[in-house]
Structures are given as C-alpha cells and as structure tokens.
Structure 1
Amino acid sequence: MHNLKMIEFEDVERVVERAVGPKARLLAHRVEPFTKSRQFGIMGEHYELAVEVNVGDEEEEEEGQGDGSGRPVRSLKFFLKTPPESAALRDTLVDDWVSHEEVHFFAQIHPLLVQECRERGIERWSPACYLARPEALVLEDLRSQGYAVRRNRIFGGDELKAVLASLARFHASSLLLQRRLGRPLNELFPAAFREKTFTELGKGGRSNRLGFETMRCLAERLGLTDGARMLPRILARLCELVEPRAGLRRALGAAEAMVRLQGPLWLWLLLPAVSLGGGGGGGGGGGGGVQRVGSSIKIGKSERSSSTLTGRGSSSIKIGEAAKFLNSTRVLRPALSTSMTSTSIPLAYASPQPESASSEYGNSNVTKMLKVGLAVPYKSFGYREYTRAVSRVVTALQKSTKRPNLGLFQHYDIFVKVAMQELTPSPMNILNSLCKEFLSLNVSAILYLMNYEQYGRSTASAQYFLQLAGYLGIPVIAWNADNSGLERSSLHLQLAPSIEHQTAAMLSILERYKWHQFSVVTSQIAGHDDFVQAVRERVSETQERFKFTLLNAVLWTKTKDLMELINSESRVMLLYSTREEANSILRDAHELKITGENYVWVVTQSVVENLQPRHHFPVGMIGVHFDTSSSSLVNEIATAIKVYAYGVEDFVNDPSNYGISLNTQLSCDDLEGESRWSTGEHFFKYLKNVSVEAEYGKPHVQFTQDGLLKSAELKIMNLRPGASMQLVWEEIGTWKSWEKDGLDIKDIVWPGNMHTPPQGVPEKFHVKITFLEEPPYINLAPPDPVSGKCLMERGVHCRVAKESDLQEADLQTAQRNGSSYQCCSGFCIDLLQKFSEEMGFTYELVRVEDGKWGTLENGKWNGLIADLVNRKTDMVMTSLKINSEREAVVDFTVPFMETGTAIVVAKRTGIISPTAFLEPFDTASWMLVGFVAIHSATFMIFLFEWLSPSGFGINDSSGYSNRKPAGRSLRHRFSLCRVYWLVWAVLFQAAVHVDSPRGFTARFMTNVWAMFAVVFLAIYTANLAAFMITREEFFDFSGVDDHRLARPTSHKPMIKFGTVPWTHTDSTLGKYFREMYAYMKNYNKNSVAEGIEAVINGDLDAFIYDGTVLDYLVSQDEDCRLLTVGSWYAMTGYGLAFPRNSRFLKMFNQRLLDYRDNGDLERLRRYWMTGTCRPDKEVQKSSDPLALEQFLSAFLMLMVGILIAAILLLLEHIYFKYIRQHLAKDSRASKCCALLSVREMLNPEMDVKT
C-alpha cells in the first residue's frame, strides 16, 4: 500500500462529497497502484483510491448493506494521479509546467467542455474530475470507462508523425476560428499568446472560452460533424499509461503537442495558412484522431485527396501554398517570402554532393562524408560571410598543431548544409528546414546559432526547432542570444552564457559593494521561473562566504505588483524582463518612488539587449551583457564546428563504436524509416565531453552535465550620460566565471548621478523597545558607578525608571544611577544587536512601568500587552509567550524559542529507615530463612545425630546403647536445644561454645548449614551496603495535571506550590485548573528568583513557571539542588510582539526565519542556556563517610538485642529460683525432657567434669 500522505483526509472527504453527495460520510480509504507493474503515466504516477462511505440510501439499508449505524456502506474507487516519486521525473514535469497546466485544464476548461456537451445533447465523453491540484488529480475509475494500459512503449515513429500531423491540423483550425470570430486571436486575447502565460494570465472566462472554441474548430477542421466527438481521444491520450524510459521528456513533448493548449503552440496560431489538402471525410468515427500506422509528413504542392488525411491505411500531411477551409469557398493565399535560404558547403577534399552513407568505416581507402546542418539568422549577403567562416575554421583544424592527434580529415570530409532562418519562421518553414534541408541529408548534428533577442516569438521558434530536433534524436550545438528563455533539452549544448552565468555576475556585483539584501523583479518573459531559481541556487552556494537575503520575488503584470517593494527593506533590485517590459516596469517604479539615488537596479542581458536604452531607464543602472552582434555570431561558428569535430574525433577513436554510422537515416517521406536516431544520445555524450581550446588567457570550452557552458565572460555595463547628455550603455568592466575574484569594475555613475554607491539598505530608523527582565533572556546588572558604562559582556543600557522621573535629568548622570538605568544582557539582547547590525536601526530599551507581562485584568490589558495596544512602544522583546488571547490584540512574529509550563522541585537528603538492616531481603525471604531454613536444618541435624550409631542416641534397647563415650555422662545427651544453639551460632558465625554432633551424617549436615550461612551472610552484607547509602528524595510530579497538584487538598500533608501572578502561566492555570489556582494564591511569589529561593529553603515544595527559564535556573544552581520534573504543559513559543499592522513585523519575521535556517538561533540558545549543573532524576549515590543517622538501624538492632537479653536474664533468674529445684529432684527425667535437655543446659552441676 502506498503512503497516504500523497492525499490528505480532507481532500478525500471533498472527493466523496462531490461524487456521492453532501450526506456521505467517509469511513476509510486506501491508496494502491493502479496496475500491478506500477507503470508510470506520461505525466505522473497512477494509483487507485478506494474508499468506504456511509450514505443515506434507505433502499440499500433494507437490503442489509449497512454497517449497523443505520446508514448503508458503499465502496467506491477513483483514479488518482500524483507527481512521480523519482526526483528526475518530477523535475522534468516542473520544468515543463505539465502539472500546472493539467490542473488548469481540468479546473477551468474541462467544465466548459462538459457544459457544451450537455447543452448539445452529447453523451458524457470524459471521466468526471473530483479534485484537481498539482499534488493530486482524482478522476472517476478509469477501468469502468474502458481506458487501457499500454505497455513497453512511449512514442514511436508513427506516434511522432501523428503528433506533427495533429499539430499542423491544429494550426489550420486556428485560421478557421479567426475567420469565424472576424478578428485575429492576438487582438482578442494577446496575453494568451505569450510563452507560458496561458495558464498564468489566461485564467479568465474569455481565455477558457477561447481554448474551447479552438478545440471545437479543430474538430470541425478534422471533418467531424460535432465538435466534441474528437475530445475523448485527446483525453484518452492525456490519461494514457506508459512505461518509464529515458525518452520521457520526448514523450512529454509529444503529449504537449497533442493535447496542451498553452505555451509556445499558441504562437503559431497567427502564422500563414497551412493546408491539409481538403476538408471532408473522416466522419465521426475515423476522424477522431490520426491513424497511427503509416503516417508521414510531405512538404510540397497542395493535394485535394481527403483520404490522405483521415484514411486508416496510410495517413500523410501535405503542406502547400494554399489552405481551403471546410465548408467554405474562400482560399487564403498568404504572401510567403523566402524565410529559409539554404546552401551546401563541401569542405576539405569532398565532392560538393553528399555521398551515400552506406559505406563502412572500416574501409580506410574510401573518404567518408559527415553531414552537419548549420542554421543561422537570415541576412542579406550573409551567405558569403557564413561560408567564409566555415571554411576558415575547417582549414585551421586541418593545420592545427594544438591537437596533433586530430586525424578526422584523413578519412572523413565534412559536408555543411547552411540554412538561413528569419526572425519568426512559421511552422511550415521550420518543418521545411528539418525535413528538406537537414533530414534529407542525414545530418549527424545541427549547429543552431541565432542572435535574435525579442524573447517572444523568436524564442518560441527556437524552442520549437530544438524540441523537434530533440524528438528526432539529433544533437544540437546552439548559440542563442535569448537562451535564458529556452527550456533545457537533453540533446542540446549551449555555447552562449547561460542565465546561471548572468545571475552569478549580478550577485558578484552585490558582493563587491556589500549589499546583503535584495529583491528580484521579473515579467512573464520566457524563463522567468528559471531566473528566480538560479538566483536562489547561487545565494545558497555563496552563503558560507557572503550571506545574501532574498527579500522579495515580484512577478510584474501591472503597477500594483510593485507595491510589495514600497514597504520592503530592499534597495537593490535584480530585473529580468524584455527591454520593452523593463521600460514599463521602471516607469511604474518611478511613479512609486522606488528609483532614485537610494535604489540600484541591476538588469540582465534581455534588458540591455542591443545597447539601446529606453525612455524610462534611470541613470545609474547596472547590467550584464554579452556581445550578440553578427560578428560575434560568426566567431561562434568556429567554436561550434570545433566542438563537433572534436566530438566526432573522440567518437571515431573509441573502439567500441567500430561500425556505427553517424548518418541518421531519418526521413519525413519514408513510411518505414526510423522516427528517432538511436545513435544520437550516444554521440551526444562525446560532444558534451569535448574540451576545445579558446583564446589566449581563457579556459577551454567545456560543458556541464546539463549541456551548459562551464566558463563564460560577461561585460558589466553602466547606464550613464553620454557626450550629448543622452543616456548610453557604457562598458565599465568584465566578469570572468573561472576566476575566484572575477569581477573587474572601473568607475561607475550611480543612481542620481552620484559618485558613491548607495548603502543598499534603508536609512536608519529608530525603534522603542519595551522589555521585562527574566534570565537568561534579559539579565539586569548595575552600570559602573564612575563611568556609567556596562562592564558586563555584551551589555547595553536600558531604562528602568519611569519616563516622568527622567524628564529633567541629565542623560549621562542618569546612566550612572542604577535606579534609573541598568545594563541589560542575555539571549534577547544578543538577538536584538544582531537585528540592529543587519537591518540598520537604532533602539531604546525601556522596562515596562507596571512590571507585568500582560494579562486581562478587569477586562483591560496590563503590562507589556497594554503598551502595545495603546501604541506606547514599537516592539516588545523579551521572553513573552504567544497565546490566542494576546494574538487577538497584537501581532507576533514566528517563535524564536519553544517553551511550556514546567515544575521545579528541590532534592532533599533522605534519612535511612530504622529497618534498613532488614531491607536487603524482602519479607518472604526473611520468613523463609527464619521459619523454614533454620528449623529444617535444626531438626535434620538432630534427627541424623539421634539415629546415628555413633551419635548420642537415647534408645537404651539398641545394640549400641552400651557404648558410652569416654569422659561423658549419659545424662549429657545431644539435645534439640543444643542443636538450635549450634545452628544459630553457625548462622551468625558467633564465637561461643557449642556441642558438636558425633555422627558423621549430622556433622555433614552441619557443614552444609555452615555453607548456607556463608552464602547468606555474603549476600546480606553486599546488599546491606547499598541500602545504607544516602538517598536523595524529591517530588516526582508527572506534570501540572498531577493529582497532587490539580487536587491539592486530597493529599496529606498538602503540598505547597505557587507561581508568579499576572503571567501567562498564572492565567493558564486559572483558566484550566481552578482548584489549583485558588489554592496556590497563598504561595505565589512576586518573581521567579523568589520562587526558586523558596523551593531551595523548603518554604515551597514546588514552583510552576516557564520551562526554559526554570531549566536555565536549575543549570545555574551551584549545588545542583534543583530539578525540573514532569512533562511540559501548554506548549507554546516566545515571539517578538508588535502593535497591530506594524510596518516592522514583516522584516523581523524574515530575519527570524533566516536565523532559524542558518543556525544562528540555535547557537545563541546553546550559549545562553548551558549551565554548570545538569541534574537528572536518577538516584544519586554518595561515597561520603556514613554519619550516625545513616547507621542508626544497626545501633537500634543492638539496643533491641540488649533489651531481649535483659528479659532473658529475668527469665533465667525466675528459672533458677522457682523451676530448677523441681527438675533437680528427678535426675532421671522422662525421655521428653531428655529431648529438650533444658535442665542440663541450665544446671551446671549435672554436667560431667573432665
């Protein structure tokens, strides 16, 4: 089962409500793969969302389908699509805006299509959509709609040709729509025809209706009688499942061309007519899509056969000179000027005509031909210049000594096909260039060099050309002046400086002048998201040596978008837009007064463009620029050919490539040919890894893994008055990416014609800050009475007296007086100074007059909150807790420290219990020893001795009874009492006279008992030492809700505890623990220090307050007598507080977030929160000598023993006086008396003397 985090529970409830109704209640849901093989979709991963819901259908309840709650249960399944788990695939989708555009389609356009079908009486043709978000798209179960799972293919040749065919039809349909509407589409909705803006700007009803009408016209152009009948196939392709492969980006591009209405495709709707050869045919069934087998593209004269359009056997597209619309006699004849001029340049010793590519590389006697395409800008008389540049570089390569192993020209010739391209070629011209000029020659690479900088239609044409080349698998070595607006391609090498190079150069300027904070302003120019991302990545890379802060990222569409910069701290702006858009942006900025001598605008190549400033460009602007002139482009032809030649050289010299041809064998006319060059990706690896020598002093031309240039040089431009006082762009330095300090700048004319750079930060402002002391956040100490300075570390002056008391006092004199000014230090002071240094403001620290934190008192706020509500202060900075009541009247920043309500107690030294000598064993063990072991051993020894032949037997009739031991009277028998005396003496190892048994068995048993006694005493002694050690006792509360605190009167004796009144802790306890709150009023203290002292002295058993403060005070206790116990209650955080709608809130919030991310807050916490004492709740053991009270139990045992002995002495006297004489009368006592032998024990005269 997949992780459910991909879709939240609330989203599932929303899906159920839309699918079943508002009365449905979600019971459970699960997410599983849509297919067992876990196949990927074109634009994400597909899963099955299964849910169980309660519905109010009484009929189902009667049938027994309920869950016992009175409501029936239904099981539903939905189709769930999410972004891929693979980071690479996910990044691809983000780069292509696929998810965003798909969501826009299902959320905005799809409902219009469904409504149109409903109004026209057309049956439902698409799956219902219940949730459309970038993270998750939920449709109805596609299995029930007959959607199939395709395996092991993405898009082959047939699919690619079908995509091109559909694209051409889409272009033709746009003309039909224009004719129907009577006005060009770009006039009706121009914003929708910019790159990547249909989903950004075109979210209104007009743009959605425009998209729908275009699709409907497309259906009509395909010959369908009803516009909506072709849509199921488009939606089927959109939801189609495919296997993941390396060609995912190609599949995305093909799917984009097939179904997406956004992006560059809109640019082609206005271009010259594209004929599809006739309007009819197809019908509703066959015209729903292009036949996949046998489709092709043909460029030439127009043909009228409709069978070539929608026939199932062979489908082809013929693009010609005229376009005739369906059901219309009108023929559009556009004025087609020559937009593509091509020529072939044979080089080296080759014949001007390209040779066949069928020869094997292994035959060294045959000179083989390598074909390469060269696309360059259209230029009058440019043919000779381009061909001369190509000839020069090839000649130089043949004579080069820098790379003597370049043996390419010994066996190969290069055939270059030059195609000059206009600024905005139509799709027909681009296809003509690819099919006729390049694919027909089987080129192995295309050199695409363009210096157009319109960042609109020209960028779209370049993107279209590169995408089509990428679909075909042909590597492209490009040099585009507007490359920042191009999407990255997997088979694309870029020789021009990238947007990453421009951002690096711009941030180097900021670093040179110590401008730490800045904002980014972009228009909706192509690549604006890439620019912002490149800035963020560069900022992250330079954080260790220079800390940048990106304050704002503004996307400009209208004037009010710049309002965000008015209240910002930013004084440095990085601008990325077109030159025309920059003129509008800077005009709006001038009206909003965010230009001038205090504001610096640093712009990209797209703004500088051809070094022609616009009217609203302010003086002092700084720009990064690289030469895009025709001469620079011609020079780059040499670099491009060198990259290609070195790549071919490395490819051919690799033995693993023996026999692999570099001829593509692609054709637009061959129905059976390849649709993608399989060797292209392999050959591209060699091109990407080349190292081409550059000019003297510059590093070699090398590429990154993304195909970007590793090293680049940019010019730094400054907009300043020229000779005629007109503003001109003047070069003031260079930036070299390969040097550590690569920025070299001369004198700059700064904004406002100033000769000194602006500060880059707002002018200093003053802030009044109110505080209340509480260690370690704010500590108070008196200043030096002589100098009045704060001698403590990082201390600053803070006023503690009332403002009215100091109205006529001298400041310097007052600062020496400890009753007026104190020195503040601590966590908050260090944080405040860091704010002041980086934000550039001054401050005044003032203690709150009533000394209260801020709670509601008789319906009014007091303390710190009252000062904020009454706007007596600009900011409160101390350990002020954030709660809902305070947030209702003031604004808080994000928390800078988490805290909660904790309890502190004191550890007391415990007195050893009088029965401590008994604690080594529990009661059961003592009972087992005293009543079982002793008696068992006694009786066993006595029994063995009595029955032993050699023992002191009393059986006179036995054969052994006459054997009397020498020197011993018969009356001296081994009695039971003597055995008890023996057992006790052995157990306690007493040095007393005992009678030992004579029998061997009894003696053995005595030794066993002695062994038991040794083990018993060893265990007892070892455990006794542990129980005689000093122990520390404390109240181990579980938390504030502990029953001993929550119900204090229920515990005897009652525990004394309190807190500080008029604090957050006090108000929280009063709100949720009324009994506790009422009880502890008698024990509350005025400050935390008083409460801690009361706990130490024993006046309080516990003190309740903020957890972080108590932890700090516990760690500062030198004797480690304090301890925080239990879990924290009412977790919250400390924050900076401001009056409502304060202009300072946002800037302090941003700084706190930065400090949290870079670890500054954590470093301050460790510095101030660490103490010398780290107590814990474990029992502390001491190695100090035992005091008298610690060994009192042993003396108690001795005293008890003396008392028992005194009692026995009394009993002995009683015996001798009253009992002994009766026993002495009969020396022959009965056998029972003999067993006990009491008289023998207590009558010495009866003992036998030896």
Structure 2
Amino acid sequence: MAHKTILPLIIIIHKLLVSESQNIGSPPEIITIGGVLSSKIAQMEFEKSVNNLNLLNGRINLHFNSTSIIMDPNPIQSAIKLCDNVVSQGVQVMVVSHPPGGDSQPPISVSYTCGFYQIPVIGISARDSAFSDKNVHPTFLRTVPPYFHQADVWLELLKHYGWKKVIFIHSMDEEGRMILSRFQALAEKEDISVEETIKYEAGDNSFESLLTDIPSFESRVILPISYEATKRSLMGEGYVWIVSEQAMKATNVPVGALGLELFNATAENVHIKDAVTIIGKTIRNLFKNDNLTTVSDVSNSCKNRKSLGETSGKIIYRGLLKERLDNAITGQITFNNDGDRLNPIYYFKNRQPMGIVPVGYFGNKEAMVPALDISDNITWPGNINTKPKGLNIVTHLEVVTLEAKPFVHTRLRSEGGPCGSDKEKFELPCNHVNMSTNVTTEYCCWGYCMEMLREISQMVNFTYDVHISHDKTFGSFEKRRGSKTKQWNGMVGELVSKQADLIVAPLTINPERANYIDFSKPFKYQGLIILVKKTAKSSNLASFLQPFQDTLWILVGLSVHVVALVLYLLDRFSPFGRFKLAKSDDTEEDALNLSSAMWFAWGVLLNSGIGEGTPRSFSARVLGMVWAGFAMIIVASYTANLAAFLVLDRPEASITGIDDARLRNPNENFNYSTVKNSAVEMYFKRQVELSTMYRQMEERNYLTAEDAIDAVRNNKLDAFIWDSSRLEYEAAKDCDLIVAGELFGRSGLGVGLQKRSPWTHDISMAILGLHEKGKMEQLDNEWILKESSECPLEGSAPATLGLTNMAGVFMMVAGGIVAGVFLIFVEITYKRYRGLKEKELELARNAADRWRGNIEKRRTLRQTLQRQRDEQFAAIPINMKGIPLNTNDGSNSSMQGETHYPGKRLSYTEATGSKLYSPPPQPSLPSASSQSESRSVTINNPAYGDLMSQDDNFV
C-alpha cells in the first residue's frame, strides 16, 4: 500500500524537476505588449511598466516586451502606422489612449484593426458607448467606464435622498439615448419614475423653448442641466439639478448644481500602469494554469491572417474579462461581459458661490460593493443648505369617490337642501359628470370616508374637491370599445389618467391595482362574506319532540314498558313481595301488579308523585332506583336540548359559507353574484380553485352593490358576495338579511393615490395616527357597527316563544282531554253493558236464593211438624172408638161429621183443634230481598194441603 502512495508523488516531483530544467535551459516565451499613446511621456511610462512585469514572473518562463507609437489624429493614418509599426512586431495585446491634444477623438480605427486580427485592446481614455457593442468591437476593454454608466451613480443618489420622480433632459444622439435607456431600466427596478423626458438636438445652443413646461411638472429633480435654466428661474429654491461629467466641466454651471467627476479620469500615466499590470497578471495566470502554452500564432502583418479559430488572442481576451485587480491605483478593476469597467470611483462635485467643491464620493477602492458617502454641506439651487423635497407638491387635491354605504352616502342636493344644512352630519358637495351627455348632477356626500378625509386633510394640511366617479365603478382593467389595448376604467382609471389625485372610498388593496396606483396603509381590515335572506325554521306541531331523534323516543317508550314488566315480575316472584307490617293487625300488603308497575314506571319518568303502588321487594326497588336515575338523565337532557331548539332557536342562513356545495357545484335553482369590475370579481378570477364560481357569476354580476342587495331582499338573488363591512352593515339594518359563513379573501381598504405620489407617505402616517388615537374605531362604531333598534340583538337575550313554538304541547294536552272524554264514554258504555249482565245475573241469583229459601223453609217446616206430631202422639192416648176432644173453652167436641178410629194418623188440626199454623221465625237467608220478609202459611190452603198430603219423604 505504501508503494502505491509514493509512486504518484515521485512522478509529480519528476515532472517539476523536468519542467524546471526545461525553464532553465529553454528560451522564455516572448509576450509583446503594444501601445498607441498620446505622447512621448506616455510611451516612456508604458515601457517602464512593461519592464516591471519581468520582475514579477517568478518561475514562469515569460518575458514581456513593449512596442508603442503615438496615435495619429487621422484615423486612417493611425491604422496604417499601427499595422506597420506595432502589429508587425507580433503583439499579443494592445493598450490604446487618444491622440495628442485631447481625448475627444476615440480610437475607433485601432479597435477595428485589432478586432479583425483578434488582438485584445485595453482602452484607457475612450468612454463612448459605441465601444460596448461587441459586434463592432469584439476585443475592446477599458479601464474607464463609459459615459452612460453615470446613470448608475445618479440612481444611487436619488435613492439616497428619497426622490422618486425626475425630469430627464438628454441629447438625441447615441450617447443621450444610451444613458436614458440605462437610467430607465435601473429606475424601474427601484420604483423611480421619469415624469418627463426632454430631448434636444446635439449641437443646439438654445434650450429655452424646451424648458417652458418644466414649472408645470411635479418633479423638481432635473437631469442634466443647461444654461437656459438660470434664465427661466429654474435654479430657484425647490429645484434639484444633477448634471453629467461633461456638463460639470462648463464654466457657466449655476450655483447649486450637483455633478460627477470620475476619479483619475484623465490621468493617462496612472491608467497605463493599471492596464499593463492587469495584462501581466492575466497572462501569467494563463500560463500557470496551462490555459495558454504558446503565443506563436499571432499575426505579424496586416496583410495576412493566420487563424480564424481558437487563437491566443481570444484566450487572453477571455482571461482579461475574468481577471480582477484589487490593488490598482484607480481602484478595483473588473470588467463586465461588454469589456466595460465595473465599480469605478466617482466624486460628487457641488457648484457653490466660491467655486466647485467635492462633497462626497461613490465607489470603494477596497470593496466589491460600491459605497456612497456624501456631505450635508451642499449648496442647493436658491443658495439654500436644506435638502429640497424634489417635488412641486400641489396642496389642493381632486378626490374621487362613489356611493358605497356605510362608507359613502349620497343624496341629491335638490332634495335635501344645500350640503351641510344638517348639522348632525358632515356633508361635502360631490358632483357627478356624465361623460356621454356632459350633464352635471349635484350631490352631497357624507359617511365614514368623508369624515376620515376631513381628519386626514387637517393632519397632512391639504385642501380638496370631491366628485363622484364618472363610471360609478371601482375600476377594472379591460379593453375599451374600438381599442386593442387594455385600460383602467372607474375610479382607478381616473387616478391612472391623472384626472384625480386621491380615491377616498372603500377601495380594496389588491395586486392588480397596486401595479398602477399607490395605496396608503389600510384604514380598515376586512374580508369577503356572503349575504343571504334569513330562512326561519318552520315550527311544526312536533317541535317539542325535536330534542330527541325518533329512534331515541322509541327506545325511551320501549324502556318504560320493559322496566314496568320487569318490576312486576321481580315483585311477583320475590319471596318478600308479600309481608305483614310489623306489630300491626292490618292485613298483609299485596304484591305489585302489572297496572301499578306501569303507573310507577311512567310516574318516575315524568317526575310525578308516587303515593302508592311502589315495589315491595328489595330486587324490584333496586331496579326502581336505577330507573329513577335513568329518568333524571333523560329528563335533564331533554330539557337542555329543548331550550336549544326552542328558546334559543334563531333564523339561519340558507348556506354555510364559501365551501357550501351549492356554491361549489352551482345549479340553475341557486343564483349568486357580486359586482362587475370590482376587486371581488378580480379575486374570483385570480383564484384557480374558484374558477367555476367565477364562470357562474360572470354573466349575472350586478352593476352596483345596492342593486344586488335589493335583489337578495326581493328573493331575486339567493346570495351576494361582497365586502364584509358593507354586508354586516346591511344585515344589522335589515332584520330579514343575514351574513353566512366565515370571512375569506381577507384584505384591507386603503386610500388610492397616483403612482409615486408625494402624498402616499404622509397620508399613510396620518391613517396610522388615527388608528392610534382611536378615531378609526370611533368611526367603525358610528357608521358600521350601528345596528337597527328594530332587530333583536343576537345572543343578548333568549328568543321569546310563541304559540307556533309550543303548539304541539297544547295539542298534546288537547289530545289528552279528547282521549279522556272518549274513554269515559267507552267506560260508560261498557258499564251499561256489564250492568245489564250483572242485573240479569242478580235476578237469577235472587230467584235461586228465593227457591233455595223456600226449600229450606219446607224442610224446616216438615221437621218441626214431625217433631210436634211426635210429641202430641206421645202425650195423648189413642181412642180406638173415638176420642173426645177438649176445646180450649173446656168443652168436649169432636170433628163434625168425622169419626176417628184407632190407628189412624191425626193431622195437626185434628190433634190440636186449631185451624191456623204459625211457624217459628226462620233464620235469615243470603238474599237481600228475603231478609225483611215474613211468611204466614195457611194450613188449610188447598195447595198447601195438597202438598202436605203427599208422601212423608217429600222434599
């Protein structure tokens, strides 16, 4: 394993030794740097700088040579000398300056020639925008930035001072168009606008006519400057003039102008040193990294071109684009893809009464990120030291609004008198102009927004006029008739077209509008909600049964009878179901029968008193206690739910919210909509998940919220989707309306302003101040949360029950009465029928008792007679021939006409001589009818005699 690690190390050391020996023994690679300069002094500095490169090569086997010429003012001669004296030397890279006497003439011919032969060129004085075009100058780089890069510094200066609008003055040549284009591209990213662009022909000496309209513009920041500005009093207080490097060199720059100056812009020797230094660093790095091994493919004559492919010139050019020189004399040197220098250093110069004074700088020699540092000791136009606002702020504003209760109420001025005649409310005149007929209608406006406008105007200090929007809409972005481009209409359109300065209305803040207008901080946060008409629950006769479902009622009724049956069985079969009371002679208590058990079960369930018929056994009483607990829970649950269903029952909305199935899956029987060209319509259009609802509403949307609310009230519309503040106000005012569901699509209401309006910040701060002071909450309570006294307050007190709610209970009582009356007739009828049966049975029982009594009487009579007879026979001797009879009066007599013979059985009459017989009193018989009756039997009754004459065994 060790030899595998050592082997690559030996190979690397071997290569280094071989390379070092080759460097020592082989001739160095010759790098020739050419120069086209402005003077002999520059040539000497150039040669010195190139020679200094050879001192820094180290182990890299390179040698730098130099060759240079002085640039000819004639471009053609300059190109010829370049070919004869420089290109012929086989140069790999060029440094080019300007002709003697000034830098006004760019080195175009040198750049063309070197570009054709793929020789990289570093310019040290050319700042024209044309050299940034790589199609024309493919190998040109420069250590100085082009003039149009001043736009970067101007933008940073505007950001530093917070100026958002400028007036841009530029020439109509290539340089003027380039600097305007770059400034507009950068300003758009930073939300800075060019209010007006003023163009002039290059070479014009008079700009007076161009400056005529500047006082009417809002912006007071002007780029750049002309002398005519002083003659038109445009250098007075409030203006800001930022000028270019070229303009700052003029001798008639007015006091207060602020301009730029590039650090070491004209120091040719300094730029020569930096250019040669970065060339040497680049080539050394290329050879060091083996990106470049030879430069022998360069052209040594303008008459031939050795290669059109990958040349050492192209490699060196790409290396220069990537190189960075941090310790350059002119600051950090890096290039962009166009070969232009990045991160240059500029000085800010201010024209003061004593002359031009540096007041700051932009850029940093040590850092990649540019830094800006500017002094407060600046003299501004008008010879003042206070920073101007940079805007001509108009303090009288045009305010647009529209009717949107409760935020804005309107009335015709002709109907209620002049605006402000009602001292209890703050009214403002607000006219409406019909753009089609040009007819003006006079209105008065008042409400939440008008009072807020009054407060803001007092805090920010501006005056205003109010008018109603021409379209009477909030505004949407759509194509107008006969136009292919989209435009804003409504209130937003008036703001975009600058017909109005402010929108003071319940304007929703959304992304579509924010791209074209500014918004203040929200004065009210809200969302979207749905307005529907109340649908009161129908109270049927079974309303009191609502607390329990049908199945529960069935189970409760079944439980009553099951428990009653089980109680009966437990008490019936328990050995302790019958018992005598202790120490009492009373009879024993009876066990619980089925009827009493049923009465007990119902009585416990309905909380009625149970006086008798309670379970007797312990087992049945345990079940009774459990049943009582069950009944308590059932009754308590029923009572609580009955209160919820009847006492606290409220009318409810027909839908549950935005996720209701009737909204998500619309049908022809359910219509809903919003307002056309409104933020709510934009919201549904923007949300993908609500696209179905948007398509459903698109053709049904109303022009105004008032029309839609009336449609809901008149049952022409089932649901209206709109701002929560407005719909809550309408629901509080109209007892038949109600808002459904929860808020969705939350947003804020703000004051609309023109894009980059100077009033945006101040009005936002005023609104925040009103929130802190509680003024906005006061307006909410006064205008939005003020409910109608005619509508009951939800949740404040239970709803009052009416006959419709409790009709079922009364019907139940009436049913009980009817059932009782019906049952009493049934009982009477049954009693009559049973009474007849009982009477017949009683008659039969009486007859049987009478017959049985007669039988008993006869049996008793016979026994009595027989006993008497036996006694008589035993006491009286029998006369065979005839027996004399003693009468009661003591005389003897005998039966007339009859003769008694011995052995003959005498009757009672014969034996006693009596004709009547009174039997002894008989015991009472069971029959009631015979208890008070007494019987007398005539002995000599023929019928009775017949009976008595029968056999002795008669029964």
Looking at CA atoms only, which structure, 1 or 2, has the larger radius of gyration? 2
Comparing both chains, which one has the higher relative contact order based on Cα–Cα distances under 8 Å and sequence gaps of 6 or more? 2
TM-score relative to the length of structure 2: 0.49
